[in-house]
C-alpha cells in the first residue's frame, strides 16, 4: 500500500496571505485524491514533526533555531519577498521535514510500499543557512540524510523534475558519493543554477547530473532524458532507495514555467522510476511535493503520479 502523508498545518502556512504557493494547492490535491479511485489503494497518514537533530544534519543549527523561534504577527519576509512566513509556518515546516523521515522509515519497515508526501512549504531550494524560493527546510534532503546517516544506506538517488533547479539539494550533497542527485529543469531559469557542467566535487564528483531543458521542452524531451540519461545512471548507481522531488510546475498550464509537459507525462515518469526502484531497491520510493502553481493541473498531475505509485 502507498502512503499519503499530509497534515492540516500544510493548509495553514500562508493562510490569509496572497501568494502563488498557496494553501489551495494542498486543498485541491486532497479533494481530487479523495474522489479518485486511487484513494482505495492509499493509506492516509498524518505527518509527524521532525526532530531537530534530523533537520540539523543538513541545516545550520542557528538557522533552524531562527525559523522555529520566529515571532510573527501577520507575515515575515524571509527571502527577497518570495519566501514568506505566517503564524503557522514554523510548525508546518517542522512537519513537512518530518513527513519525509516518517515515510522512509515506514517504507524501510515494510509498513507501506511507497509514499507521497503532500507537504508545504516545499523544500528543494532551501540552502543550509537560508530560506529561498518558497522553501524553508529542505524536506527531501532531510530524508536523504536520514537514510545515509541513521539507516546506514550507501546509495540514495534523488530525482528532481521540478521545473526549477533544486539548488539547495544539490549543494547539500555536492561532495557526497552516497547521494546521486539528478535534476531536470528549465534552464536558464530561476534560480540560475543547474548547468550541465556542474557534476559534483571531491568524492561526490560524478554524482550530480544536471539535465537542463529549454523553454518549449515537453514530453518528448523529458522522456528522452529518462531513457538516455536517467535510467542508465540509476542502473549504474544501483540505488538502495529512490526519492523524488515531485514538482508539477513543468506542466504546460503552469504560470511559472516555459516547459510544456502534459499531465500524463507525470504518470509515465513515475512508472519509469517505479520500475527502476523495483529493479534495484525492492520498490522503495518516496516522493515529495515541490512546485506546481496551476491548481487544476497540479491536482490532476498529482493524481496521475500517485496512481502510478500505488498501481
Rounded distance, CA 165 to CA 186, Å? 8
Give the closest residue to 75 by CA, choosing from 85, 83, 60: 85
Instruction: Point out the catalytic residue in the list 125, 146, 185, 305.
Output: 125
All three cell numbers of 215, joined, read 523553454
Rounded distance, CA 208 to CA 23, Å? 32
Positive or negative: CA dihedral 249, 300, 89, 144:
negative
Assess whether 125 carries a catalytic annotation.
yes
Cβ-based neighbours of 126, under 8 Å, separated by 6 or more? 59, 132, 133, 135, 136, 137, 138, 141, 168
Rg value, the chain, Cα: 17
Q: Maximum Cα–Cα distance for the chain, whole Å?
A: 51
Give the closest residue to 183 by CA, choosing from 224, 146, 213: 213
Cβ-based neighbours of 168, under 8 Å, separated by 6 or more? 123, 124, 125, 126, 127, 128, 132, 135, 138, 141
Rounded distance, CA 143 to CA 158, Å? 10
Question: For residue 69, how many other CB atoms are within 10 A of its CB?
Answer: 8
The residues assigned a catalytic role are 125
Amino acid at each position: 500500500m502507498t502512503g499519503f502523508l499530509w497534515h492540516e498545518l500544510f493548509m495553514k502556512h500562508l493562510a490569509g496571505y496572497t501568494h502563488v504557493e498557496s494553501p489551495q494547492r494542498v486543498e485541491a490535491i486532497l479533494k481530487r485524491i479523495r474522489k479518485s479511485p486511487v484513494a482505495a489503494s492509499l493509506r492516509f497518514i498524518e505527518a509527524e514533526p521532525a526532530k531537530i537533530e534530523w533537520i540539523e544534519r543538513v541545516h545550520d543549527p542557528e538557522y533552524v533555531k531562527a525559523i522555529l523561534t520566529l515571532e510573527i504577527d501577520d507575515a515575515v519576509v524571509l527571502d527577497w519577498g518570495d519566501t514568506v512566513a505566517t503564524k503557522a509556518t514554523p510548525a508546518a515546516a517542522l512537519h513537512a521535514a518530518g513527513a519525509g523521515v516518517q515515510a522512509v522509515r515506514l517504507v524501510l519497515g515494510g509498513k507501506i510500499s511507497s509514499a507521497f508526501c503532500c507537504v508545504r512549504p516545499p523544500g528543494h531550494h532551501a540552502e543550509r543557512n537560508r530560506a529561498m524560493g518558497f522553501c524553508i527546510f529542505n524536506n527531501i534532503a532531510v530524508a536523504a540524510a536520514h537514510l545515509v546517516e541513521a539507516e546506514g544506506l550507501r546509495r540514495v538517488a534523488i530525482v528532481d523534475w521540478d521545473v526549477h533547479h533544486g539548488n539547495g539539494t544539490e549543494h547539500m550533497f555536492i561532495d557526497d558519493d552516497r547521494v546521486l542527485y539528478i535534476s531536470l529543469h528549465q534552464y536558464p531559469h530561476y534560480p540560475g543554477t543547474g548547468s550541465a557542467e556542474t557534476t559534483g566535487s571531491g568524492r561526490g564528483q560524478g554524482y550530480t547530473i544536471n539535465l537542463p531543458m529549454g523553454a518549449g521542452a515537453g514530453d518528448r524531451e523529458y522522456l528522452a532524458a529518462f531513457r538516455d540519461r536517467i535510467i542508465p545512471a540509476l542502473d549504474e548507481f544501483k540505488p538502495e532507495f529512490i526519492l523524488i522531488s515531485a514538482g508539477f510546475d513543468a506542466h504546460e498550464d503552469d504560470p511559472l514555467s516555459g516547459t510544456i509537459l502534459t499531465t500524463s507525462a507525470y504518470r509515465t515518469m513515475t512508472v519509469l522510476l517505479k520500475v527502476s526502484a523495483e529493479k534495484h531497491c525492492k520498490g522503495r520510493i518516496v516522493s515529495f511535493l515541490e512546485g506546481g502553481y496551476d491548481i487544476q493541473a497540479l491536482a490532476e498531475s498529482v493524481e496521475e503520479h500517485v496512481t502510478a505509485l500505488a498501481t
